[in-house]
Structure 1
Amino acid sequence: MSRFFATGTDSESESSSEEEQVVRAPAPVYTFSDDEEETRRVVRSMKEKRYEELEGIIHSLRNHRKIKDFSSALASFEELQKAYTRAAPVVLKEENGVAPRFFIKALTELDDWVVGAWNDRDARKTLSKGNSKALTSLRQKLRKYTKEFESDISSFRENPDQPVDDDERKDTSSSDESEDRVKEKPKARRSPEPPRRPPPQDDESSDSMDWGSSSSDSSSSSDDEARGAATIRERFLKRTTERDDDEERDRRRARRERRERAGKISKRDQADDGGEWETVRKGAATSDKPKMFAKDSDIDAALVVKKLGEISAARGRKRTDRRAQLELLHELRTVAQQHNLGDALQLKLRAATVAALFDYNPKVSDAMKPEYWSRLVENVDQMVTILLAHEDMVLSETITEENEQLVTPPYKVRGCVLTSLERLDDEFTKLLKECDPHSNEYVERLKDEVRVSALIDRVCQVVERDGTPQEICRAYLRKIDHLYYKFDPRAVKKDLPPGEETTIKKMERFCKFIYANDDTDRLRTRAILSHIYHHALHDNWFQARDLLLMSHLQENVQHSDPSTQILYNRTMANLGLCAFRRGNVKEAHGCLAELMMTGKPKELLAQGLLPQRQHERSKEQEKIEKQRQMPFHMHINLELLECVYLVSAMLIEIPYMAAHEFDARRRMISKTFYQNLRASERQALVGPPESMREHAVAAARAMRRGDWRACLNFIVNEKMNAKVWDLMVGAENVRAMLGRLIREESLRTYLFTYAHVYASLSLRSLADMFELPRQRVHSLVSKMIINEELLASLDDPSECAILHRSEPTRMQALALQLADKVGNLVDSNERIFEKQGSFFQRGGAPRGEGRQRERPREGWGRRQRNRRRDDERGHDD
């Protein structure tokens, strides 16, 4: 028998083995005596209960933050709001209306976490649909809820380490103070199972691993057996201690953090807690950062270059820590500066740092982080400063590493500052594309263009001194890319101070150098297009037109790269706007027709992508097209383009339709405008226009009726001014020009429509009707007569236009159209029969014989074929 079931000692068990009857313990194995049983009942105030509820929810929120569970975090935050609402009366009474510090800390941490997750666009794209929606809702609700605690949160951020809360005071208080609120009963001995949390220090059952005890004999009774059964059941019930464990763990962590801040943590505490935490970075698993140089080494330029080669050799390798590389290069540059190893070595180290910064972003399509881009600008600027300070220092890609001279002048360093500048400019464009164009962040990023432009000017000075003509062309083109789309109000002024250079003169100087020295057609093409764009932006219509016609770019631009084609589309759009502002409606329509008739001006100008239709493009193509998009501040207003195109088409199309109303072979000048006009005419009920397109169509219908005042009101009104015309330079001149053109084209439409009604027309009456000068009316009528658009003659003494009735009437014109259509129909039928060559007979053949095919004779008409058909039917009968 096992000794664990005996009630006596070892000597008693040996003596009892000699007897026949063995005395066993009755059943006190699992019974607890009154002395051993102890329970604790805590009397808590309402404040403690409410605060404990808040702490439990805050602890859940922290757990959700660790695993980035936004859905659960949203639910816990809503629960936290409700719990704080319930605790509000207690807070108002106990804390004088001030929110508890642990609650403010939880809100601050949650706000920082949500803001960080929202700003991390790459991580936000990888979230699931539910987590993404939960993050958006949590952000909105948190921003709305924290407005009530703005002052508390700001004071907490100013001094986050100040422990003034009841919760923290409770952690630092002694166990004697907490026992004042506790009424104790005899404690129960803990079960032999492994405890879920460490037992209290004042537990008296440290030696209670023996299942039997000598005191059980004297204390066993029937009451004890009943109590033992009850305690056995309680003992094996599941106990909810997770929250207590979490609270205890949080208290220990808080105490440890306070001791660490005070510098009082001991090695024993670190050993108990498993040591200090160490942040593991992405990359190679290295224990400690290697030392840069040995302690007694003689540091010179050769040793630094050797160390630089070792650091650079790790570039591009798998699991290379790019951040560690930047830190090593910074430390190496600091060492070289401390030992005064020269500016040439500093230039080489700066070039290596720039290359490492470019390598820090693993994805070429993604933009760099703003802080690393700022470091990149700083390093390139330092490189240019060193080069400008030393005329005997050359930085070039043609210099090999063996031919470098870093110690004695003339200094020669391998590298290229122009390539670094071009990549920096491209990264700046990517940064602008990544930002929301309607946010303040975009404005802040756009302010950096001043730094980029200043840096380009300084690089141009270096390249003009040391570079080849082709490198100078590349540098000038970068300067042109930041100039061509900007309007310079000084260029319009005539009284400029002497010696002041406008952007038009700068563009002309840069472009002429590229025209003369560029070896590749691409730079010259882009310079020409940028030059045309800049001239058109300042209303230099004739210079821009002549430059475009002399370059013949429209003939072979389809063979250029996509970015050059986008620049060509932008140039043609701006050239059309310039022609319209100058009153050249036909030229404006010609420039915009090819762009607008496709229905995809947004994509052609690289200002966005249309929704995908039936797998029109793959994900790779969409990604490539997004990389080609223009930054928002360089966009051309698409609504302005469409309005100018439709108004130009109206001023051309409506007089042409009136002149060729009965012409069957009339061509369409603008297909887009014609379709919009026909769609409006097919509508049974046409309401007042709302959109810009509806305004243009309503104006066209009014012009067609001869009502030029209604046409002008549809085109020039408050709504159209705000949306379109006020966006142009010289809006008042544009509106005056529109009124003049609408009156003139309405006059021409009137003459084309009603010329066959009158025998003569008074020029003075026409001038009064359309509010035009008499000389202008005379000029328009004379031009129509010369171009044979109007069959009339002018009588100067009477100031009348004598109309000649040689034109057919409406009935005659319709009859001629009908005759032409019938003749065309007969001819087409004859051609169809000639192409077929044979036909089947309709009548049946004699029985026993198959149907025979007969070939019709050439030149038979419809009458002969009908007669033959009648004869065959009579034969069958």
Structure 2
Amino acid sequence: MSRFFKGSDSESDSSSSDSEVNVPRPGASTARPVAYAFSDDEDEPKRIVRSAKDKRFDELREIIKKMGNHKKIKDMASVLTDFEELGKAYDKSKKVIEKENQIPRFFLRCLVELEDFVSECWEDREGRKQMSKNNAKGLTTLRQKLKKYNRDFESDIATYRENPDEGEEEEAVDSEEEKSEEEAREDFTKMKAAKEESRPSKKVTYDDDDDDDDDIDWEMSSDSSSSESDGGEGPGTTVYTAAMFLKKQPGEEKKEKKEKKEKRVKKKREEDEGGEWEEVTKGAPMIKEAPKMFAKDTEVNHEAVIKKLNEIISARGKKGTDRNEQIALLKELQSISNANNLGPAISMKIMFHIISAIYDYNPNIATCMRSEMWEKCLAGVSELLDMVEANPDINIGENILEESENVTTPPYRVRGCVLTIVERMDEEFTKMLQACDAHSTEYVDRLKDEKEVCVILDRLQTYLVPRGTTEEICRVYLRRIEHMYYKFDPEAYDNPKLENKSFKDMEEMCKFIYAKDLTDRLRTRSMLCQIYHQALHDRWYQARDLMLMSHLQDTIQHSDVPTQILYNRTMVQLGLCAFRKGNIRDAHNALVDIQSGGRAKELLAQGLLLQRQHERTPEQEKIEKRRLLPYHMHINLELLECVYLVSAMLIEVPYMAAHEMDARRRMISKNFHHVMRMSERQALTGPPESMREHVVAASKAMKTGNWKECKNYIINEKMNAKVWELFYKSETVQEMVTSKIQEESLRTYLFTYSSVYDSLSLETLAEMFEIDQGVVHSIISKMIINEELMASLDEPTHTVVMHRTEPTRLQSLALQLSEKVSSLVDNNERIMELKQGNLFFQKSGGMQDRQDRFQGNYQQNRNQNWQDRRNQRQNYSQRERAY
């Protein structure tokens, strides 16, 4: 009762059960206040009534806490579930948040941390491969959903990222206050329970020992109420002042809470560490002092720096070596060397090791560098080239032994190879492009670095040409060629007679390699690159002649795989050039090997195809992926297939019309026949949708000689968007395709319907196919000379007179039938001869003689028949020549 009443020293407070009676002490004051009985409910902690805001926010905090635990163990499936729950809980809290007119800082912090966590997991490719299937799927789904969800909070997240510490303090103070209140309630409950246990259950007596119990009671009550009292005369006393009942200002309240929090934290730290803590300015990062390279009294000279350098690089490749720290130590050593003016040679030697350490940062050679390391690599190579250009008198070479190095006094000799470092940088650049998603902004950002890579190669060429060996110059030339050959220059295309810089440089470098290279590989690759570059700019005759002179078709199968891929790309570009120039048969011959097997994507190293017979091992798949070309070097496969099918259509359809009744006709393009056969198998053929369907429909129209319908199927808005507009100056290509369709449709028409006509007017044919009469005359003349059409030209009347020597359809079918029957009879007789000879003809001489006579007569008759047929053919050909 001492907590509620202020009494004298003689007063006591003792509790008893309902059966006990409070008996006054002898000599006690009679003016004692009445002791009120409290119910058991009042001893229990009071029920806490929370607002809707606290309730909703606590629910969000609980989910965020659970999500944090799942993030620690990288359980992505559970993190995805927690994220979905968080979204639902936030939707429930929208009314409360709208009243506050501010999104909670802890919710924004959760979204930002989750976004960073997902990005980090996504960039860690090795970690993703080690994930279970469920976690990998959860990470992919979470990345998509989070990206979509965060669009609604873009401005708030951006504001939070600018000032992440703003507003965190108040939240921390509030949470600490709530925590301290909960702890106080728990302590009060425990203390009350301990007091109840310590109280005697027997009746109160008036011995002297009661005073001690009273003192204990007073002490416990004073401890429990000390947080509520501001002062007093003795333990357990409380003096109420006017300040306690006045409402405090918000700023003062926050200030007071902040001071309390700082005192608690400081006290706790002192208890844990056993010492005082230094106050650090808020927001200042903890700067870790870098390890000192040399002691204070050490003289920094060449020997000390080389000794320290050897000490650092000796840890290279060892297990547990921090590669990032190794790079930092080497840079620090270089800065110390420069500060002490130890000369350019030792700085250059350290720079070689820095770049090597950057290359070693990624332990897996199959994967690419991280973007920040790539930027360091570019900067390091540029800095090395600056050193090399500024000090041309320094002798650099990979053949210089470490014992013969001289970095102290001129003439300097440094072991290293600038060309190897630049080649490795070029390979890393290719690997980075291979690893990027081709349709992302990351790929575009990385591709922008190619300009700097080309500048580095130019600088290296300028440095090596006067002082490098022939082999080194050939290698750097080839690197430059491989960055130039696939790039299209409109100026060189429009003005082929003018001397273009790119063509001039490529020709000079290729000629040098042809003359000086001692290995076939560099010569072959440079030749293929030059042919590709010529074909890309429609220099058909130069490219064709160079390919024929090289004889690469005979030896390319003995080359390495990357060179074979380059050969395939060159042949494809040569075929496209021939098509643009109107050489349809040459285009078909160049593309038939790539398109016939259905493996164009794999042969051009633009992707991997699934193999039905056997699966690739992981090692084989890694090797094949390393050969893939970056996306900006790809050739459009749909464009390639369309050019091939159109070329096959223009060759195959007239040939099929000319040899319709020939049972022994050969197929020019198997792929084209396969596409046509698949179309004919369809029960219902609708309007064409894909590129293949358009070509099939055009082929069917060409068979009947309907060139307009054929042209409309090949050249329309859909086909223009898919194929023809990908060509430079597409209008020229479309005009060429239209003229070829008209000419081949005319030839098909003459082959198909020549047996129906006695004569045809050239003027009518020119009007029907909208071609000049001179072109029609030349086409028909060529057909007559090649003995494709049995006709003659009547110049005065401008007509084509048919000779009617070709058999009609019925006669052709009859001839086919007779040939099949004769071959069947021959086969039957041969079988009978074998059976009779094996069974009984060898047993008796008379039967054997009869068999011999029979075979002799049969052979004589057969020879006579063949002679008669040969005479008929000769007479037929003589009549043709007479006509």
- Please report the TM-score for the alignment, with normalisation by the length of structure 1: 0.80
SS of residue matched to 2:406: coil
Q: CA deviation at 1:789?
A: 1.4
Matches within 5 A, 1:187-586: 190=190, 203=191, 215-218=200-203, 268-271=270-273, 291-494=292-495, 501-586=500-585
CA distance in 2, matches of 1:151, 1:712: 54
- CA distance change for structure 1 residues 67 and 617 in 2, over 3 Å: closer, same or farther? closer
Query: Match for 2:357: what amino acid?
Result: A
Over 3 Å counting, the alpha-carbon distance change for 1:129 and 1:649 in structure 2 is same
- The alpha-carbon distance between structure 1 residues 50 and 395, as it changes in their structure 2 partners (threshold 3 A), is same
2:60 is aligned with 1:54: yes
1:100 aligns with 2:108: no
Question: Percent identity, aligned pairs only?
Answer: 52
Please, what is the CA RMSD of the aligned residues? 3.5
1:451-503 CA distance string (max 9 Å, x none) = 11111111111111221111111001111111100001111243999xx7431
User: SS of the counterpart of 1:217?
Assistant: coil
AA paired with 2:397? Answer: S
Aligned residue runs from structure 1 range 124-203, under 5 A: 124-163=128-167, 167-171=171-175, 173=177, 178=181, 190=190, 203=191
Residues 264, 152 of structure 1: CA spacing in aligned structure 2 closer, same or farther, 3 A cutoff? Answer: farther
Q: Distance in 1 between matches of 2:259 and 2:803?
A: 109
Q: Secondary structure at the match of 1:392?
A: coil
User: Offset of 1:255 from its aligned partner?
Assistant: 9.3
1:417 aligned partner, one-letter code: V
Q: Does the 8 A contact of 1:473 with 1:518 survive in 2?
A: yes
Given the superposition, is the C-alpha separation of residues 700 and 171 from structure 1 closer, same or farther in structure 2, using an over 3 Å criterion? closer
How far 1:527 sits from its partner (Å)? 0.4
- In the alignment, the residues of structure 2 paired with residue 185 and residue 520 of structure 1 have an alpha-carbon distance, to the nearest angstrom, of 85
| CA–CA distance in structure 1, aligned partners of residues 166 and 681 of structure 2 | 76
Q: Which residue does 1:196 correspond to in 2?
A: none
Residue 50 (structure 2) pairs with residue 45 (structure 1): yes
Tell me how far 1:143 sits from its aligned partner.
Answer: 3.2
CA distance in 1, matches of 2:186, 2:500: 95
Gap change, CA 1:650 and 1:212, over 3 Å in 2: closer
Does structure 2 retain, via aligned residues, the 8 Å contact 1:838–1:855?
no
Residue 663 of structure 2 corresponds to 664
For the residues of structure 2 that align with 1:760 and 1:657, how far apart are their CA atoms? 23
Cα distance in 2, alignment partners of residues 836 and 519 from structure 1: 67
Q: Distance in 1 between matches of 2:260 and 2:80?
A: 28
CA contact (8 A) 1:101 1:165 kept: no
* CA distance in 1 between partners of 2:387 and 2:187 (Å): 83
- Which has the higher mean CA deviation after the structures are superposed, 589-598 or 831-840? 831-840
Determine which of 85, 89, 95 is the counterpart of 1:89: 95
| Gap change, CA 1:606 and 1:265, over 3 Å in 2 | farther
Check conservation: 2:173, 2:261, Cα contact below 8 A.
no
Deviation at 1:809?
A: 2.4
Q: Which moved more, 1:831-840 or 1:670-679?
A: 831-840
Deviates more, 1:450-459 or 1:798-807: 798-807
Secondary structure of 1:40's match? coil
- Determine the C-alpha separation between the residues in 1 that align with 2:515 and 2:276: 73
Residue 538 of structure 1, CA deviation: 0.3
- How far apart are 1:103 and its partner, in Å? 2.4
Residues 599-654 of structure 1: CA deviation (Å, up to 9, x unaligned): 11000001011123242433322221111101111000001111100110111111
1:701-712 equivalences under 5 Å are: 701-712=700-711
Q: Give the whole-Å Cα distance in 1 for the aligned partners of 2:472 and 2:378.
A: 20
Asked if the contact 2:176–2:261 (Cα under 8 Å) also holds between the matched residues in 1, the reply is no
Could you say which residue in structure 1 is the equivalent of 2:719? Answer: 720
The aligned residue for residue 586 of structure 2 is 587
Aligned-partner Cα distance in 1 for 2:438–2:74: 29
2:414 match: secondary structure: strand
What is residue 75 of structure 2 aligned with on the other side?
69
Per-residue deviation, 1:729: 1.3
Return the alpha-carbon distance in structure 1 between the equivalents of residues 372 and 666 of structure 2: 60
The 2-side partners of 1:615 and 1:471 are apart by 42
Comparing both chains, which one has the higher relative contact order based on Cα–Cα distances under 8 Å and sequence gaps of 6 or more? 1
Counterpart CA distance in 1 for 2:673 and 2:457 is: 49
Cα drift, residue 791 of structure 1:
1.9
Query: 1:422/1:839 Cα in 2 relative to 1: closer, same or farther (>3 Å)?
Result: same
Consecutive unaligned residues of structure 1, counting only runs of 5 or more, are 1-32, 191-202, 221-253, 277-286, 842-853, 865-877
The equivalent of 1:848 in structure 2 is none
Distance 1:693 1:741 in 2: 19
Alpha-carbon shift at residue 326 of structure 1 (Å)? 1.3
In structure 2, relative to structure 1, the CA distance for the partners of 1:54 and 1:800 (3 Å cut) is closer
Cα separation, 1, equivalents of 2:553 and 2:759? 47
Unaligned runs of 5+ in 2: 1-37, 206-256, 279-287, 841-847, 859-883
Number of aligned residue pairs: 752
Question: 1:790 Cα deviation (Å)?
Answer: 1.6
Query: Is the 2:457–2:476 contact (alpha carbons within 8 Å) kept by the matching residues of 1?
Result: yes
In structure 1, C-alpha distance between the alignment counterparts of 2:384 and 2:836, rounded to whole Å:
85
1:356–1:824 CA distance, 2 compared to 1 (3 A) = same
Q: Please report how far the alpha carbon of residue 398 of structure 1 lies from its aligned counterpart in structure 2 after TM superposition.
A: 1.4
State the TM-score, normalized to the length of structure 2.
0.79
For 1:41, the aligned partner's letter is K
Question: Against the structure 1 CA distance between its residues 858 and 78, is the aligned structure 2 distance closer, same or farther, given a 3 Å change threshold?
Answer: farther
SS in 1 for 2:93: helix
Partner of 2:27: none
Counterpart CA distance in 1 for 2:89 and 2:769 is 77
What whole-Å deviation, never above 9, does each CA across 1:50-96 have from its counterpart, x for those lacking one?
A: 33322222211211111112222222223323333333333444x3x
Query: 2:750 corresponds to which residue?
Result: 751
**Does the CA contact (< 8 Å) of 2:437 and 2:443 recur in 1?**
yes
The letter of the residue matching 1:718 is: E
Displacement, 1:139?
2.9
Secondary structure at 2:273 match in 1? helix
Q: Would the aligned equivalents of 1:37 and 1:186 in 2 still touch at CA under 8 Å?
A: no
CA contact (8 A) 2:351 2:380 kept: yes
CA shift in 2, pair 1:856/1:710, >3 Å = farther
CA drift of 1:186 comes to 11
| Partner residue in 2 for 1:846 | none
- SS of the aligned residue for 1:802 comes to strand
CA offsets, 1:567-586, max 9 Å, x none?
00000001000000000000
Distance 1:513 1:259, change over 3 A: farther
Is the contact between residue 37 and residue 187 of structure 1 (CA under 8 Å) also seen in structure 2?
no
Residues 158-188 of structure 1, C-alpha deviations (whole Å, 9 max, x = no match): 2222246764232454999x59x99x89955
What residue number does 2:772 align with?
773
Q: In 2, distance between residues paired with 1:508 and 1:518?
A: 15
1:840 Cα offset (Å): 7.5
Structure 1, residues 431-458: CA drift from partner, whole Å, max 9, x if none? 0111111111111111111111111111
For the 8 Å contact 1:387–1:394, the answer to whether it is kept is no
**5 Å matches for 1:105-124?**
105-124=109-128
Is the CA contact (8 Å cut-off) linking 1:40 and 1:187 kept in structure 2? no
**What is the CA-CA distance between 1:290 and the residue it aligns to?**
6.2
Q: State the AA in 1 paired with 2:90.
A: Y
Query: Which piece of structure 1 moves more, 82-91 or 314-323?
Result: 82-91
2:156 maps to a residue whose letter is D
Which SS does the other structure have where 2:780 is aligned? helix
